[in-house]
Amino acid sequence: MSLSHIHIRTYENTCPSQTDKHSVIQDGNLSVTPVLQSEDSAFGAEVTGVDWSRPIPEETVAQLVALQNKYAVLIFRNTGLDNSRHIAFSQQLGEKLEINPFFYGRENDRLKEALLFDVGNIQLDGSLVERDSRRWHHSLGNALWHTDSSYHQQRSKYSILLSHGNPVKGGSWTHFADMRRAYADLPQEKKSELENLIVEHDLWHSRKLASPIVYGNPLPHELAAKPPAYHRLVQTAPDGRKTLYLAAHAKVILGYSFEESQKLIWELIDHCTQPKYVFSMEWLFGGDMVWWDNRQSMHRANPYTESMTARDVRRSTIIDDGPLAYGVTLEEKPAVGWKPQTMAAT
Ligand code: OGA
Ligand code: MN
């Protein structure tokens, strides 16, 4: 399996929109501009009217969560938030935040803040991440379609990515795909085939796909830090609609061979990332912030390249505390044809 099997698309539609045809919806003090609208669904919205200069009142948090359940990705421009207020807002959205494993050493991390992940491209001394460093190769996996932390048995529900400094105009986008609508559009026969499938997600699988030489054999401490996890493919989104829970981390479908699994997984990812389900959010200003729901969307970063410009983006990740947070237990697996030897199928 290598990247040559994967169809890498480019996308034209951008956020902010290049046209004026997007309507603004008033929701109390907030103004909401949906990004992708179809007859029966909306995906992504730019929201203004939140006063980020002070703690966010609980009523506003509830209002934002309702919008999040509906749109799955919320974009806020120029928030002016710093690390501690970014973390404080994230902590209002769930019981726990993910802890950074600091794979490259905490001493080498610019933020040194265990509740934030430095997903930009700047090193401690201000220079850009070096080509062929382990961090460079690790980051290449973020340019594959994924949802964050599906490789954790207790998955994460939200990610909040905040930009700092002055991003270079035209320098970076994050792409988002609407998994609810992509699921709804599948033929009934396909839906029935997928209904009870269980997927093994493994961080090292996506790292290997993006960087087969460097991550062909992850280091023992890496493997130990992130063992695989098991989740249902078809899930219920917060708004009650069905959705697909998929990512480049998806390695094996229980009961299928590795090859059959990868074929179906990438066929589905390809289906879900057709331009009609995707928007591209351009990072415009320091303070821009995007909050996405990992349970009902996928996203993709720009890959690191020799010509990339400095990018300082920091992510908090809110652990799922809902009913589907813990995925599939060992006892549930045999029901879908899982036998212990399937685990060695790579
Ligand atoms: C992430 C991620 C996308 C980007 O932080 O989880 O995938 O554009 N980021 O940096
Ligand atoms: Mn991500």
Q: Which atom of ligand 1 is nearest to the CA of 299?
A: 7
Q: Which atom of ligand 1 is nearest to the CA of 315?
A: 5
- Tell me which ligand sits closest to the C-alpha of residue 317: 1
**Alpha-carbon gap, residue 240 to 257, rounded angstroms:** 32
Q: What is the mean pLDDT of residues 162-189?
A: 95
Q: For the chain, what are the domain ranges? A: 9-344
74, 17, 24, 70: which is closest to 50 by C-alpha? Answer: 74
Would you state the pLDDT for residue 331? 74
Expressed in angstroms and rounded, the spacing between residue 291 Cα and the centre of ligand 2 is 11
* Ligand 1: residue whose CA is nearest its atom 6: 148
Expressed in angstroms and rounded, the spacing between residue 337 Cα and the centre of ligand 1 is 35
Pocket test for ligand 1, best of 173, 313, 317 (most atoms within 8 A of CB): 313
Entry pTM: 0.95
Q: Which atom of ligand 1 is nearest to the CA of 313?
A: 10
Q: 255-276 burial string, b = 16+ CB within 10 Å, else e?
A: bbebeebbebbbebbebbbeee
Name which of 195-204, 228-237, 272-281, 324-333 the model is least confident about. Answer: 324-333
Q: 215 pLDDT exceeds 60?
A: yes
| Residue 139 Cβ < 6 Å to ligand 1 | no
pLDDT digit string (tens) for 59-108? Answer: 999 999 999 999 999 999 999 999 999 999 999 999 999 999 999 899 99
- Tell me which ligand sits closest to the C-alpha of residue 120: 1
pLDDT digit string (tens) for 294-329? Answer: 999 999 999 899 999 999 999 999 999 999 999 997
- Tell me which ligand sits closest to the C-alpha of residue 117: 1
Q: What is the mean pLDDT of residues 163-170?
A: 92
30, 96, 26: which is closest to 62 by C-alpha? Answer: 30
Expressed in angstroms and rounded, the spacing between residue 164 Cα and the centre of ligand 1 is 14
Would you state the pLDDT for residue 345? 41
Q: Which atom of ligand 1 is nearest to the CA of 311?
A: 10
Q: 292 pLDDT exceeds 60?
A: yes
Expressed in angstroms and rounded, the spacing between residue 341 Cα and the centre of ligand 1 is 34
Would you state the pLDDT for residue 338? 65
| Residue 313 Cβ < 6 Å to ligand 1 | yes
* Residues facing 46 on adjacent strands: 33, 75
Q: What is the mean pLDDT of residues 213-233?
A: 96
Q: Which atom of ligand 1 is nearest to the CA of 161?
A: 5
| Residue 315 Cβ < 6 Å to ligand 1 | yes
**Alpha-carbon gap, residue 252 to 329, rounded angstroms:** 16
Expressed in angstroms and rounded, the spacing between residue 279 Cα and the centre of ligand 1 is 14
267, 150, 259: which is closest to 203 by C-alpha? Answer: 150
Two tokens at 6?
């994967």
Q: What is the mean pLDDT of residues 264-274?
A: 98
Residue with tokens 């951008």: 14
Expressed in angstroms and rounded, the spacing between residue 269 Cα and the centre of ligand 2 is 15
Q: What does CATH list as the number for 9-344? A: 3.60.130.10
* Ligand 1: residue whose CA is nearest its atom 8: 301
Q: What is the 3-state secondary structure (H, E, C) of the chain?
A: CCHHHCCCCCCCCEECCCCCCCCCEEECCEEEEEEEEECCEEEEEEEECCCCCCCCCHHHHHHHHHHHHHHCEEEECCCCCCHHHHHHHHHCCCCCECCCCCCCCHHHCCCCCCCCEECCCECCCCCECCCCCHHHHHHHHHHCCECCCCCCCCCEEEEEEEEECCCCCCCCEEEEEEHHHHHHCCCHHHHHHHCCCEEEECHHHHHHHHCCCCCCCCCHHHHHHCCCEEEECEEECCCCCEEECCCCCEEEECCCCHHHHHHHHHHHHHHHCCHHHEEEEECCCCCCEEEEECCCEEEEECCCCCCCCCCEEEEEEEECCCCCCCCCCHHHHHHHCCCHHHHHCC
Q: 344 pLDDT exceeds 50?
A: no
Would you state the pLDDT for residue 342? 46
How, if at all, do strands 41-48 and 278-282 pair? unpaired
Expressed in angstroms and rounded, the spacing between residue 157 Cα and the centre of ligand 2 is 12
Two tokens at 184?
């709804």
166, 162, 159: which is closest to 81 by C-alpha? Answer: 162
pLDDT digit string (tens) for 8-64? Answer: 788 887 888 877 667 899 999 999 999 999 888 899 999 999 999 999 999 999 999
Pocket test for ligand 1, best of 11, 159, 281 (most atoms within 8 A of CB): 159
- Tell me which ligand sits closest to the C-alpha of residue 147: 2
Would you state the pLDDT for residue 192? 98
Would you state the pLDDT for residue 13? 75
Expressed in angstroms and rounded, the spacing between residue 121 Cα and the centre of ligand 1 is 11
Would you state the pLDDT for residue 104? 86
Query: What average pLDDT is seen over the chain?
Result: 93
pLDDT digit string (tens) for 182-208? Answer: 999 999 999 999 999 999 999 999 999
